[in-house]
Every structure is written in C-alpha cells, then in structure tokens.
Structure 1
Amino acid sequence: MAVDDELRIYRTGFHTCGYWKDRFARDLLLDPREPRLDAIYPLALSWGFRRSGDMVYRPDCVTCRECKAVRIPVARFEPDRAQRRCLKRNADIQVRVVAAERTDEQFDLYHRYLQARHKDGGMDDHVEIDFDRFMVSDFAQTRFIEMRLAEGAQAGRLLGVAVTDVCEEGLSAVYTFFDPAERYRSLGTFGILEQLAWARREGLPHVYLGYWIAGHPKMDYKRRFKPLETIEQGQWRDLDPEAGT
C-alpha cells in the first residue's frame, strides 16, 4: 500500500521515561483516528514503530537516542546453547495460539505478574478494562500464545501468555507475562522462541521485539537473540556484535 502525505503523525509532550527515571521522553504517534491503520500498521513496524493498545508510537527524544527498534530475521536465527536449554527446560509445556479475548485466568496471572515484577510502576493497579486497552486494538490482528503445563498433577495450569500481533511483515511481540513463581523457566525467552517457531511455520520473515537499550537490565535478553537487526536512517541492518557489551 502506498502511504501518501495525508498520514498524520503527532509528537507528544515530554513525559517521564519508562526506562530511565531521571530522563524525559517524547514520542511520535500515528493518528489513532486514521481509518487505514489496519493497512499502515504492518508498514509502521518496518519503520521502527510499536503498538500499545490503539497507539502506534516511536520514541522521539531530544537528547537521547538509546531506544533502538529491533527484530529477528527468522530464516537466519538459530538458538544458542542457553536458548536450547530453555526449550528443554520447558518441554513439559503445551503451547497453543488462542483468540485475543481476555479470560479471568489470564487476568489473574497478569495481575500477579505486575505485582511481582512491576510493583509501584504505574501498571500494577490495572483492572480488566486496562488489560483490554493495553493488549488489543481495533486494527491489529492479535493472538495470545498460551503456555500451559502439559502433564503432572497441575496439568493445564496457565504459566504464561505472549501477546502477539500477526501481519505480513512478521510477528510483533507486544507483551509477555508469566507466573512469577516460575522464574527459573525463563518464560520470556521461551515465548520469543515460540514466536520464532510460529513465524517459521507460517513463512513470516521477522519477529519484532520492540525496543532495545544497550546496558539496560530489562533489555539484555533481547540481545541474546542473534542475529538481531536494528533500523538506522530507515535501513535495517545487523546490530553491531559488540553493542551493549
């Protein structure tokens, strides 16, 4: 689809950075009233944008350029030793793709995850409508990857959910939440590995991981997926192997 000059892009005011509390940030937003968002959103991913609810945004900070949009080229990815161990560790998990429709079970898991991982971070008081507004949108084709125990006395117990958008550009990892008591499983990594497996089965070229920040403890896991591509001046290229080390 050709996108003409009528596409409106707005710049937000300054707000506290979600990653560095001593910094201020601002974003570029695609017009949320744009009727072509269902067609534009896949292109926006390739421009370095990301979705949160109905908002399609990209950081546009004045003095900081540390947020880098990253994606994994599916055909070139091979899991490393640690990722193979993660797959083996979670061999007792059954994975299925379901409709993006919130259940009480999912929301309970989401609430426990936020309380354990992001307490007092502004999201831990989310109620059901906040979950819906954050995870899904009117224009994206969103699916939930559920991770459940496949065996044992607790077979069927929900361990994690990877919220995933599907489009011709690939899969976009919107958000993943999991049982905080199961940290040893590395379910965030497992979720991405399952998204990569799904993209490979469907012949999709990329898995978009949102933004990566060199040296940020919450972002280190993304750098472990290699090769990892980033966009610079409108061109995607492999991230420098020494970046963030």
Structure 2
Amino acid sequence: MKNEDNDILYMHMQASERFVLFNGLSFREFTCSLPHGLNSILLLKHQYDGGDYNLNVLLESVSSDNITKLLKEDVRAYGDFCWIDFEEADSLEELEGRELAELLYVAHTKNHLDPPFFRKMNNQFVYLAQDDGWFNKIYFRSISTYYKMLGNLIPSKLESLKAERTWLGIRKKKELPTIPLDIISSLAPILAEGLVFSFRHVKFTRAKIEIPAWIVGDYLNMDEMHDDFIGRKVQGPDAFITFQRKEKVWESVINTTLYK
C-alpha cells in the first residue's frame, strides 16, 4: 500500500528531538509550503545528475537557483532521497571530517547521534526520505517553521482536491488562506501522538470545509500505520480542522474526551 493518491497525511512530531515523521508529504509539497524559499542543498543520498560536485565533501549540491529543476524530478523513484540545506557555498569548503561523518551517518541510518544542525551550514532542515512521500523524516531547526509549513500545506492539498472534483479539473480562484499559526499549534498535543488527516474524507458544504483527523500512534513502518488507520477510521475522528467559508476563518476542534 503506497498512498499513491496522496490522500492521507500522517505526522508524528517529536518536538524535543526536533523532527517529524511523515507519510503523504512529497518533496515538492514540502518545498512549496515553506514560509521562505529553500536554500541551496547538499545531496546526501539521491540519483540526481544535475548537481554541482564539491571536491571537499565529495558530494553534489544544488543551488537555490536550481531547486526548480530538482522539483521536476521524480525523486520518489530514487529510493533514498536525503539532503541538508546550507546558507553559504563556502561552508562546504569548511566542513571537516567529523562533520561529514555525521552527515553520512544521518543519511544512512535516518537517525542522529547529535542534533543535526551545523553552525557552519546554518541549516534549517535535514530531509530524509525513503520512497519520497511514503516515509519522510524531517528535522526542523525551529518547530514553528513546521507549523507554518503545515499551515500552507493543508490548504494546498485541499485546493488540489477541489480542482480534481471540478469539471475538467479547471481550477477556480484560490479560496483558502493559510491556516494561522495558533490553529496549527493547538494541535501539538495530538501531533505528538501520531495523527492522520484524511483528505479522502473531507466534507465540502456551502458553509464550510471539514477535514477529519484520527490519532493512530507512533509508526516507523508505514504499512502498519495504514493498517491501523483503516481500523481507526470506522470510529469517529479525534479532531477536525474546519474552514468557515462565509467568515473565511480556520478553526480546530479536538475531541475533549481525549483528555479525560
């Protein structure tokens, strides 16, 4: 089961470790949902042949100006797709053996020894994917950046879903604004438990759009997560994010029985 339709979004946030596990998030969706553009990136595991080879680290990089070319690639077909962003090109020349070893370790194991944020690179992310969109582990220097990314991602997924339901897929004028930071951050307690947003169960009415979410737990094996979700979805959702169309406001509702 590969979530080919990309119609669920699973997230398990580990705020203390500053990473989030995802199923249903692609590299393109991630990049296009960031509150700021993506810096240049150092490719740690990939099959892209359009990068610039660096003789100090013996790895390829992609400049911020060329990220759009990489976005056109089918990175899911790479298998492993891992990278770290960096601010200045000169920082690659300054990396020493131990730092390179840490980078290679995190790409190989998809885990860290020390927090994978490097002063020389001033990186904001470490992106570790296996079959991009199926299993993604992303480290965020700032968890608020994750919240902001999610606030852009969910409306984007909904707009795509609305376009599919429109005759001939013709997109209408964008209706949905970014979800405010306070609405996303209110979900932090259940994001930390492992949450699935189901876009296949979104309800569209004239008054509102309602996205249901279910707590499914902490998973590294995404096949098991999908199996658990199939069992959980027969019960009522644990939370909703709703968009009130008339007022043009977002709201979050969490089942209060979760905290009793």
Instruction: Please state which band the TM-score falls in when normalised by the shorter chain.
Output: under 0.3
The two structures have a TM-score, normalised by structure 2, of 0.24
**Which has a greater percent of helix?**
2
Bigger Rg, which one: 2
TM normalised by structure 1 equals: 0.25
